[in-house]
Amino acid sequence: MSTPPQAFAPAQAILELGDAFYDPVAPADFPQAKLRFRNDRWAARVGLGDLDDAQWVRHFARFAPLPGTLPRPLALRYHGHQFRVYNPDIGDGRGFLYAQLRDDRGRLLDLGTKGSGQTPYSRFGDGRLTLKGGVREILATEMLEALGVETSKSFSLIETGEALDRGDEPSPTRSAVLVRLSHGHIRIGSFQRLAYHRDTDDLARLTDYVLRHYFDDASGDPVRLLDAVVARTARLAGQYMAAGFVHGVLNSDNINVTGESFDYGPWRFLPSWDPGFTAAYFDHAGLYAFGRQPEAIHWDVFQLAICLRLLVDSAPLIPIMESFAQRYAEAFRAALLWRLGVAPGADDAALVEAIEHGLATSQVDVASFFHQSFGGRIPDALGPAFAEARGLLLGYRPRTSRDAFWDGPVCAMLIEEVEALWAAIAERDDWGPFAAKITAIRAMGDALADA
């Protein structure tokens, strides 16, 4: 997919909020900076495609300011519910907002970091990121983008030459700094911090900021903000489910009010359709299991409604919150039909239910099912569990011919392959399989987008 050249368009919108929302910080001074990944597709879309590798490292490992954007990094302040327990002692603990800019559609975007050093919110952490964690985040974001999920983009990964000790990885392990490109870093937890302090002036200021910059709405109306966030987050929940993706940690500080997924820790893609499948080994109760993700996101957005109650009466907020279920159902149907490669039809709800039943009953590989069935023809070899779905699909129009879609192998992202890709890097410093996987993911994504 070719990307037309775009002029660099720096921005400083976050400074409108004032210093009650962030803390200026300094990046870590890393002993080395070895460029491992640069997202040239998105660099072109934000006017940074012409940077050579030396300039890239200067900006995305040493964090020299980009011209016209933020003069120094900012660690954002927020609170949040973590596994339903409120925590007022969090914030950007190993990352910061490095720059703001606009893309080729004029949208305000952030460049934010992960693993860039300690901040006032690091608590007892070292502020660093493992190289494996960075590799895993790239794989997650590339796959989600290809599958049509609204997600942050992994923009840069640079190995930093430190040895890190981690309890969940063989240690010492290699270190890195990741830069994300995202549609803002304002979280539900950003509103929760202000509500916790009963700071209604700044709560209104943040409401106005988000509406103006992310929803093109100058009203400053908290009701309209909640409606926009419910719509976006319900869409995200539907996209997660159609992608067979489990985020793993859907805490309220991990929910972006723009409805864009970000911050990938213990994520997984489903091997088979299992509502109880969890991604985080520490999620013992299955709070964020695959099938509970819509509920979890709805619960988080309800925390935003509670915050906005300080600015407006609850009466207009209630029907908006009640609309989440219907909006989610519509988003899930749309995303699943898109992945299946058929245009919406007269029996969408029944078709989606039949496909879910078939997937759960047959326990076929999820990625293989969608690959083989693209265009609305479910192979007989997938078994009788899909009999009802096959019949319903007779009335559906494919978005494109099956042959025009994809002639490559199934492109999946199960944990076994993630570990194998990392093993090649960890054991032999062989980045070839990783690069080949990114190429395959993007080819699949281009085919889906063009279908």
Give the residue numbers marked as catalytic: 253
Strands 80-82 and 85-87: antiparallel
Q: How far apart are CA 270 and CA 323, in angstroms?
A: 28
Helical pair 222-243 and 293-308, crossing angle rounded to 10 deg? 170
Q: What is the 3-state secondary structure (H, E, C) of the chain?
A: CCCCCCCCEEECHHHHHCCCCEEECCCCCCCCCEEEEECHHHHHHCCCCCCCHHHHHHHHCCCCCCCCCCCCCEEEECCEEECCEEECCCECCCCCEEEEEECCCCCEEEEEEECCCCCCCCCCCCCCEEHHHHHHHHHHHHHHHHCCCCECEEEEEEEEEEEECCCCCCCCEEEEEEEEEECCCCEHHHHHHHHHCCCHHHHHHHHHHHHHHHCCCCCCCHHHHHHHHHHHHHHHHHHHHHHCEECCCCCHHHCECCCCECCCCCCEECCCCCCCCCCCCCCCCCCCCHHHHHHHHHHHHHHHHHHHCCCCCCCCHHHHHHCHHHHHHHHHHHHHHHHHCECCCCCHHHHHHHHHHHHHHHCCCHHHHHHHHCCCCCCHHHCHHHHHHHHHHCCCCECCCHHHHCCCCCCCCCHHHHHHHHHHHHHHCCCHHHHHHHHHHHHHHHHHHHC
141 φ, ψ to 5°?
A: -70, -35
Q: Which residues are within 8 A (CB) of 262 and not within 5 positions of it... i.e. 6 or more apart? A: 151, 152, 180, 182, 185, 254, 256
Contact by Cβ (8 Å): 47, 9: yes
Q: Which residues are within 8 A (CB) of 429 and not within 5 positions of it... i.e. 6 or more apart? A: none
